[in-house]
Structure 1
Amino acid sequence: MTFLSLQVLIGVFICSWSVKGSSQPQARVFLTFNELQETKTAQFYALSHHPLDYRILVMDEDQDRIYIGSKDHILSLNINNISQEPLSIFWPASTTKVDECKMAGKDPTHGCGNFVRVIQTFNRTHLYVCGSGAFSPVCAYFNRGRRSEEQVFKIDSKCESGKGRCSFNPNVNTVSVMINEELFSGMYIDFMGTDAAIFRSLTRRNAVRTDQHNSKWLSEPIFVDAHLIPDGTDPNDAKVYFFFKEKLTDNSGSTKQINSMIARICPNDTGGQRSLVNKWTTYLKARLVCSVMDDDGTETYFDELEDVFLLETDNPRTTLIYGVFTTSSSVFKGSAVCVYHLSDIQRVFNGPFAHKEGPNHQLIPYQGRIPYPRPGTCPGGAFTPNIRTTKEFPDDVVTFIRNHPLMFNPIYPIHKRPLIIRTGTDYKYTKIAVDRVSAADGRYHVLFLGTDQGTVQKVVVLPNNSSTSGELILEELEMFKNNAPITTMAISSKKQQLYVSSDEGVTQVSLHRCHIYGTACADCCLARDPYCAWDGNSCSRFYPTGKR
């Protein structure tokens, strides 16, 4: 009997939704790193045998390249096979900066290097890249050529300061998005790591940021991700959404609780005329809730957002946002996946603002007059066609935003409960990627969930007639030899490949391995893998256009 047939588990496991004492589903197939390589469906690439903190930062399907940032290196890998034609640039911090970093008492291995944390597509030929620069952030333009076959990859400019574009500390997340050659970043702007900001830089206009040291706006945030998302048909109404978690003091003013948040700003915001000069005048935020209700009515929160994935559709309003959450509870450990409708998120931002009132500073819905245009509206959009710039906003709009950035209602997931819950496991989910699959019996969402144990679980959500659904772990794959926690993931539905990074390197793996389920028709059908179907001879890739 081969190792593959030994690994196949009989039966279909459906998740129990109860937090306490739930029996956790097991993967139908578990493959170790070496077994995965034997299937010929995976490739691994690393620059050296030493851990280098790899992060997948840009996937360019047009040029067939994937761009990776690591310690002192930027990599350009072939999207079809990451171990073929790898291009790398050595980009260390200066010796002076490394010495200063060590003198300041920073970690020589995990701090005093140039950890690349920003790679953004600047134009058709160039990338904009930033690194931590041994606690002195630096940025530069990189030429990647016009076509992949040119094999061009080189630094094309002098280094410039990365302050306001990349965090000083490589262990503090930096998130960014490039829009029309302007960089929007969520990071810490100072050496000490006390001044968090959402910042627009690299701009021909004025630089704009969040209100400094204002805990109503940002309170010790840990940034998770950022995306530009349309809002209606007018492009001027599109918003940049920032996903993060922050520490907020409770009503007693003593205990700090971690809350997951979504904030948004208008990319064409140029700040106020008299108040909030060079500060956002459209900044709003709302709490993101992922929780489960126990039988006794108590709500248990998965309060720490770890990763998000946008599953886009033709209609932006039906975009789904998948979030991976963990819990900071001392009572139980666990992780969960919650799914949000973009329309629900927009409804909360169009709802009541939060207002603090009374001796205990309780949050209540703001009952007073809302100034016009409504705070958070973009200039030049569908609702403000006659206002060209935020500098034309009336003073009462700007004052309102400064004092009321928080929405009163929280954002709840679809059906007000998690899609997937894991408690009592020896792993936690860290990353997520989602693929939409047309199978023989309908359309499915397949989730690829990275763990802190270096594995990826392939999970299919099984639709039910009721508002609950089951889920099945089809595979669990060891991506790295040393169980290094997964740091980033990217998916290409077009190439049918998943790309996964850790400190150890980068692994590319096919989204399906139909042959591992067995050689019989029953094995293939029982697997319930939407990528696979029985073709009369073997378990093979299902194509909706093919005859089965």
Structure 2
Amino acid sequence: MGPGLGLRLLLVLVGLGAAARSAVPRTARPFPEVQQMVHRFSHEAISNYSIFLVAPQTRTLYVGAKNAIFALPLESVNQPAKMISWEVPKNLRDSCTRKGKKEAECHNYIRILEFADESHLFTCGTFAFDPQCGFIKVANFSSVERQESGRGKCPFEPTQQSAAVMVDPVFVGSTFLRGGESGEDDKIYFFFTETAREYDFYEQVKVPRVARVCKGDLGGLKTLQKRWTTFLKTQLVCLDPESGTNFNLLKDVFTLHSVNGTSAVFYGIFSAQRDGGQVSAVCAYSIRDIQKAMNGRFKEFKHDCDKWTSVMGGDVPEPRPGACITKSMKLAGFGSSLALPDRVLTFVRDHPLMDQVVHPLEMGPVLIKLDTQYLRIAVHRVRSVSGQEYDMLYLGTEDGHLHKAVKIAQKAVVIEDLTLFPEPQPIQSLQLHQSWLYVGSSTEVTQVNITDCERYKSCIECVLGRDPSCAWSRELGACIRHQGQSGLLQDLTSLSILTLCPQGTEDVPVTVEVLVSLAARVVLPCTPPSAWATCMWQRPSQDATVYALHSDGLEFTVTEETLGDYICQCMEGGAGGVVASYSLVRGSSSANAWKTTERNYSVLVGLLLFFLGFAAGSGCFFIYERKRRERLQRELLSRERNGLDLMQSNTTSCSHEPHTPSSPEDERHPLATAKKNGSLNGFPHLYINELDKDQARIYLTGVPLAKCDETSI
């Protein structure tokens, strides 16, 4: 194409804007590719691999499933495993179904799997709606011993996550945090969703909550006897300030502990009630903000004015209700919660709700994903080459996808989408350990390497991958998992690829010549290497209105002005190159004419052969019918000569009974009328019409053989 056509540069933004890129996975890996990256474990007739427990000392992953508990090697779950079968006896299963429960629910679903001590595991299962608990000796891992009732410890139903038998609130998770070296201020935090009573709306409003109790809570002496005396709760807020969407349904929560275990960040998965759960958000909360709310004002309902108000400081008794029994309280004479005065216990019983709500870090969600329902989350903190720490998020979806995201500054961006299963199924659990992520589902345990840096084949791919655990080694010429060593290339923020990565020879694709005709509709493909890449087309036409720009190509109608060279370049982080190159050439007239003539000739030949075949078939059918009629006529003449009657004629009327042949020769005659299996000489009844009152007819394949009536004798 000559310069006279006036090449113009057309920038086409194929990737999404920066604000929306966080929700769009940078790369998506289909199941066949993921299959080469994971290890899998499953056992025949076993399902619901949902409870995980890691034993680093013995390099073992314990898995609780339906009717079974497994011990798998941490390094590779597809190696031989140990199994304990813990099934419900048949009589108990039958009793369960007779009570109206579904057969699938009347089994033993493992719901608790924890360490009792160094030598034993403690486990509980639903056991056909009669929870049972027991102990497993780690040394031999052969059976569940010392079984006892699990009521109050284990859920009754397979889908429940707590032992509480209730519809509201819906329990999501819990965690334990140390309050100091003495252990006096240790607390347990609970996360759940419940119907809010503090909002005066026409319809019920669900709100996410965080509650806490002190580990040393023994209950009250008289008031709140055998009940918590330190239970306080407050609301979690997960509100998108840009759209105003309130994500008020808590689905899952993960606790990211500090090194010493006294501090933590809670990551929660939320969905919007009005959006049917198909919009998901991730919000993060600091333990300091939660503690601040728990130490703030109490909330109470004023019956005289029928509204919720804050309790003034002067109305709060001493010692402060809900506080743990620490050394200072013991010095004041309160050795345990049993020694607390009734006024304190009564107040905390009537005022469990705190006035101050807990807002998320960054004052909004770190991630919002449309048309996706996240079910499970796991988080760990990774130190980059520069020493800065980044939170890595792993999100399991309802259709079996695993999203890998990294929190950069105030937002998390999804850098990878893995399709874990050939058919969609919910992800039930996630367990992190070192460089492995264990995924539990209904059908299997899937082991994913979360630091698979070797899949990045170039420096540009390694840096653009934005994985803080991966860096490019110039010495090795490979992308490796770094251990903090110097001399490695990595940049998660500025992405100055051109200054980091050495410039190599660019692989330019071969220009594809496309023969077209005027007025044809053409689509030129251009698939960017990632969803975040920005692509641009170099095109000949000056009129941009004739082009339809798509995320994976350029569409237009061929005219004289649109003929020429097309080049698609994609850039990300300042790096990139030519992805596709085309040359649109108008096909020659002679060639087109020859193709048209050849096509017309083929059509004519096909029509001629069709008519010849039809005529030949008709002639053969005519000859066959003529010969058949001649044969029948000869048979009739032969019968008349031999004096054979079709019907007996002892009376003046035609008998309905056929004549019985007197010899084998008669039976061999084609018109013999002996009955054979209810047929006329072997011919079925469909050839015989019913007899009239006046006459009888016998037909053979539609041809009348004889006719008789009262005057024919």
Alpha-carbon contact 1:363-1:408 (below 8 Å) kept: no
Kindly provide the amino acid, as one letter, of the partner of residue 280 in structure 2.
Answer: S
Aligned to 2:562: none
- Cα 1:167–1:240 change in 2 (3 A) is same
Alpha-carbon contact 1:43-1:81 (below 8 Å) kept: yes
Aligned to 1:503: 442
Structure 1 residues 66-77: aligned runs within 5 Å: 66-77=61-72
- Cα 1:24–1:265 change in 2 (3 A) is closer
1:266 Cα deviation (Å)?
1.4
Alpha-carbon contact 1:15-1:470 (below 8 Å) kept: no
Structure 1 residues 453-468: aligned runs within 5 Å: 453-463=399-409
Q: Which whole-Å deviations, capped at 9, do the CAs of 1:133-182 have from their partners, x for residues lacking one?
A: 1011111111112xxxxxx21235232111001111112222xxxxxxxx
- 1:528 paired residue among 466, 476, 497: 466
Q: Which whole-Å deviations, capped at 9, do the CAs of 1:283-309 have from their partners, x for residues lacking one?
A: 1111111111247xxx42111111111
2:22 is the counterpart of 1:34: no
Alpha-carbon contact 2:211-2:234 (below 8 Å) kept: yes
Aligned to 1:329: 274
Counterpart-to-counterpart distance in 1, 2:34 and 2:328:
52
Counterpart-to-counterpart distance in 1, 2:15 and 2:481:
21
Kindly provide the amino acid, as one letter, of the partner of residue 265 in structure 2.
Answer: L
Alpha-carbon contact 1:77-1:87 (below 8 Å) kept: yes
Structure 1 residues 159-178: aligned runs within 5 Å: 159-174=147-162
1:369 Cα deviation (Å)?
2.1
Q: Which whole-Å deviations, capped at 9, do the CAs of 1:209-240 have from their partners, x for residues lacking one?
A: xxxxxxxxxx7122111111122454111111
1:488 Cα deviation (Å)?
0.8
- Give the number of the structure with larger relative contact order, counting CA–CA contacts within 8 Å between residues 6 or more apart: 1
- Cα 1:13–1:60 change in 2 (3 A) is farther
2:426 is the counterpart of 1:485: yes
- 2:292 paired residue among 325, 335, 347: 347
1:387 Cα deviation (Å)?
2.3
| Structure 1: gaps spanning 5 or more residues | 1-9, 17-21, 146-151, 175-186, 195-218, 464-468
Counterpart-to-counterpart distance in 2, 1:272 and 1:428:
43
Aligned to 1:308: 253
1:32 Cα deviation (Å)?
2.7
- 1:374 paired residue among 310, 320, 323: 320
Alpha-carbon contact 2:23-2:368 (below 8 Å) kept: no
TM-score, normalised with respect to structure 2: 0.63
Q: Which whole-Å deviations, capped at 9, do the CAs of 1:226-274 have from their partners, x for residues lacking one?
A: 1111224541111111111112346458632211111111122111111
Q: Secondary structure at the match of 1:472?
A: strand
- Cα 1:15–1:165 change in 2 (3 A) is farther
2:493 is the counterpart of 1:545: no
**Percentage identity across paired residues of the two chains:** 31
Aligned to 2:87: 92
Higher helix share: 2
1:29 Cα deviation (Å)?
2.6
TM-score, normalised with respect to structure 1: 0.81
- Cα 1:247–1:154 change in 2 (3 A) is farther
Counterpart-to-counterpart distance in 1, 2:137 and 2:229:
35
Kindly provide the amino acid, as one letter, of the partner of residue 32 in structure 2.
Answer: N
Alpha-carbon contact 1:234-1:382 (below 8 Å) kept: no
Aligned to 2:693: none
Q: Which whole-Å deviations, capped at 9, do the CAs of 1:182-225 have from their partners, x for residues lacking one?
A: xxxxx22xxxx44xxxxxxxxxxxxxxxxxxxxxxxx7122111
- Cα 1:25–1:390 change in 2 (3 A) is closer
Q: Secondary structure at the match of 2:33?
A: helix
Counterpart-to-counterpart distance in 2, 1:371 and 1:23:
52
- 1:437 paired residue among 338, 357, 382: 382
1:472 Cα deviation (Å)?
2.7
- More displaced 10-residue stretch of structure 1: 476-485 or 301-310: 476-485
Structure 1 residues 272-421: aligned runs within 5 Å: 272-294=220-242, 299-314=244-259, 316=261, 318-330=263-275, 333-358=278-303, 361-367=306-312, 368-385=314-331, 386-421=333-368
- Cα 1:114–1:431 change in 2 (3 A) is same
Q: CA-atom RMSD, angstroms?
A: 2.3
Counterpart-to-counterpart distance in 1, 2:161 and 2:261:
27
- Cα 1:383–1:323 change in 2 (3 A) is farther
- More displaced 10-residue stretch of structure 1: 229-238 or 87-96: 229-238
- Cα 1:543–1:45 change in 2 (3 A) is same
- 1:108 paired residue among 98, 103, 109: 103
Kindly provide the amino acid, as one letter, of the partner of residue 268 in structure 1.
Answer: G
| Structure 2: gaps spanning 5 or more residues | 1-12, 489-713
- 1:126 paired residue among 120, 124, 135: 120
Structure 1 residues 5-44: aligned runs within 5 Å: 16=19, 25-39=23-37, 42-44=38-40
Counterpart-to-counterpart distance in 1, 2:175 and 2:277:
32
- Cα 1:437–1:32 change in 2 (3 A) is same
1:414 Cα deviation (Å)?
0.9
Alpha-carbon contact 2:22-2:411 (below 8 Å) kept: no
1:375 Cα deviation (Å)?
1.1
Counterpart-to-counterpart distance in 2, 1:156 and 1:169:
20
- Cα 1:156–1:25 change in 2 (3 A) is closer
Q: Secondary structure at the match of 1:348?
A: helix
The number of equivalent residue pairs is 471
Alpha-carbon contact 1:480-1:504 (below 8 Å) kept: no
Counterpart-to-counterpart distance in 2, 1:59 and 1:86:
15
- Cα 1:253–1:547 change in 2 (3 A) is closer
1:372 Cα deviation (Å)?
1.7
- Cα 1:484–1:333 change in 2 (3 A) is closer
- 1:155 paired residue among 130, 143, 149: 143
Q: Which whole-Å deviations, capped at 9, do the CAs of 1:326-366 have from their partners, x for residues lacking one?
A: 12114884111111111111000000111111466422111
Counterpart-to-counterpart distance in 2, 1:373 and 1:316:
27
- Cα 1:543–1:162 change in 2 (3 A) is same
Counterpart-to-counterpart distance in 2, 1:170 and 1:140:
18
- Cα 1:25–1:267 change in 2 (3 A) is closer
1:458 Cα deviation (Å)?
0.8
Aligned to 1:184: none
Counterpart-to-counterpart distance in 2, 1:25 and 1:294:
15
Kindly provide the amino acid, as one letter, of the partner of residue 46 in structure 1.
Answer: S
Runs of 4+ that moved beyond 6 A: 10-14
Alpha-carbon contact 1:317-1:342 (below 8 Å) kept: no
- Cα 1:526–1:24 change in 2 (3 A) is closer
